[in-house]
Amino acid sequence: MVAKSNGKIQLPPRPFKNPNPSIQFRVEQMFGGLCSCPCFGERSSDADGSDVDPVLLISGMGGSILHSKKKKFGFETRVWVRILLADLEFKKKVWSVYNPTTGYTETLDDDTEILVPDDDYGLYAIDILDPSLVMKLLHFTEVYHFHAMIDMLVKCGYKKGTTLFGYGYDFRQSNRIDKLMEGLKTKLKAAHQASGGRKVNIISHSMGGLLVLCFMSLHNEVFSKYVNKWICIACPFQGAPGCINDSLLTGLQFVEGFESFFFVSRWTMHQLLNYDGKMVALPFNFEILKWAAGTRQVIYDAKLPDGFCFYNIYGTSFDTPFDVCYGSETSPIEDLSEICHSMPQYSYVDGDGTVPAESAKADGFDAVERVAVAASHRGVLQDKTVFKYVQKWLGVDQKVRKHSKSSRVVDAST
């Protein structure tokens, strides 16, 4: 028997409304000060960031710092991400099991709770994922998540706590779970209020886009009230079947080689299938499958508000797993539990190394612009071309050029 999971793209992207972004950019330059269309941004912004709409950055799977806290003593320990003792801390404090009654993933240690720090207006948790002094001194970019984008936005005039915010969340939980939805609602309201009642522009990365989809589906009125634009980066709208399937079936080891030291090894997962007498259902937990079917329906029902500005950036030029196969005709899988101890064989397509391009661009929405960038899944958050598009869509790239006495024509596609 061969156990195989095929990734299939079910929803093709809708036709691109503006095939020539350079024309749009030229019109925006000439008439930026007069155009009131919300999709093109304003002509300029004040240096203190008071004349720009607030931005909320939302991370994806594994893109938020997680702290472990003893309920009695209140002392917090960073358990994700950390370069040292990652396996040990995971075994002691993070190992969790799905509760089908509540829908939550709960820690097996009843005395421990997992928290996401909200320091620096939510930006700390998604900035440098291992903010230890050693990592900062070495400038170890593998753990620099939204750091470069935060710096770029600050230089464009955004001010932390007034027009720039972050939303890190417990990515172990379902994208539609109440706690995450309420947390996002609270963050949107706070950004709206701090900026003087302005609507919020969301920039999401990876699975953070699916979180936004769930929120838009379940709380459409709140979304319409508080959100102005959504810039979606590297979102697996139709899944990332190869990578994610293997990670969830056989362990949380998302990467190989040196980078794997930041995560939890495949072997650790096998060691912990029996925790203090409690059995964990791996690799196939059918209760989770039932919940996932409900989540898929929530995502399917998501609709953009009328006149809403949606933008999509996705990565290309990297071999990306499309489907995964365990076993072979000559050496078949006899028992499903053998999958945990099997190495996968992938077929590859173009993408960012994690999300296939065909999946990332299949948003199904009427996008203002949909752009492919040659960048990896995490590298897209540090890419200069991505920054140019973000600045353009936010309307802040004009701030540097507003003092020019002669008009210039810039091709945004270069």
Classify residue 10 by burial, with Cβ atoms within 10 Å: 0-12, 13-18, 19+. Answer: exposed
Q: pLDDT tens, 162-217?
A: 999 999 999 989 999 999 999 999 999 999 999 999 999 999 999 999 999 999 99
pLDDT of residue 39: 64
Q: Which SS3 state, helix, strand or coil, does residue 319 take?
A: strand
Here the tokens at position 38 are 């919300």
Q: What are residue 315's phi and psi, to 5 degrees?
A: -90, 150
Give Cα separations from 53 to 28, 302, 396 (angstroms): 18, 24, 10
Length of the chain: 414
Please list the active-site residues: 206, 352, 377
Residue type for position 144: Y
pLDDT of residue 96: 80
The residue to which tokens 């030291």 are assigned: 261
Rounded to whole angstroms, the Cα distance separating 17 from 304 reads 16
Here the tokens at position 229 are 């634009």
How many Cα atoms occupy the beta-carbon half-sphere of 409 within 13 Å?
A: 5
- Burial string for 276-301 (b: 16+ CB within 10 Å, else e) reads eeeeeebbebeebeebeeebeebbee
Rounded to whole angstroms, the Cα distance separating 87 from 97 reads 17
Angle, helices 147-155/384-394, rounded to nearest 10 degrees: 50
Domain positions in the chain: 3-7+20-30+40-63+133-399
Q: What are residue 47's phi and psi, to 5 degrees?
A: -65, -30
Query: Nearest-CA neighbor of 81 among 126, 139, 147?
Result: 126
Rounded to whole angstroms, the Cα distance separating 266 from 260 reads 10
Query: Nearest-CA neighbor of 149 among 201, 193, 112?
Result: 201
DSSP calls for 331-353:
S--SSGGGGGG---EEEEEEEBS
- Looking at residue 12, the DSSP 8-state letter turns out to be P
3-7+20-30+40-63+133-399 CATH fold:
Rossmann fold (3.40.50)
Q: pLDDT tens, 65-77?
A: 999 998 887 788 8
Residue type for position 298: V
pLDDT of residue 93: 78
- The residues near 73 (Cβ < 8 Å, ≥ 6 apart) are none
Residue type for position 147: H
Q: Which SS3 state, helix, strand or coil, does residue 357 take?
A: helix
pLDDT of residue 408: 36
Rounded to whole angstroms, the Cα distance separating 16 from 34 reads 25
> Quick check: pTM over 0.85?
no
Which residues of the chain register pLDDT less than 50?
Answer: 1-37, 42-47, 250-255, 258, 261, 266-267, 269-272, 398, 400-414
C-beta neighbour count of 192 within 10 angstroms: 20
Spatial contact of 55 and 200, defined as CB atoms under 8 Å apart? yes
Rounded to whole angstroms, the Cα distance separating 368 from 246 reads 34
Rounded to whole angstroms, the Cα distance separating 11 from 34 reads 37
Rounded to whole angstroms, the Cα distance separating 336 from 343 reads 13
Q: What is the C-alpha R_g of the chain?
A: 22
Instruction: Kindly report the three-state secondary structure assignment for every residue of 164-187.
Output: EEEECCCCCCCCCCHHHHHHHHHH
- The residues near 304 (Cβ < 8 Å, ≥ 6 apart) are 216, 310, 365, 366
Rounded to whole angstroms, the Cα distance separating 39 from 50 reads 19
Q: Specify the long-range contacts of residues 105-111, CB closer than 8 Å, at least 24 apart.
A: 105/170, 105/172, 105/173, 105/174, 108/275, 108/276, 108/278, 111/70, 111/71, 111/72
Q: Which SS3 state, helix, strand or coil, does residue 49 take?
A: coil
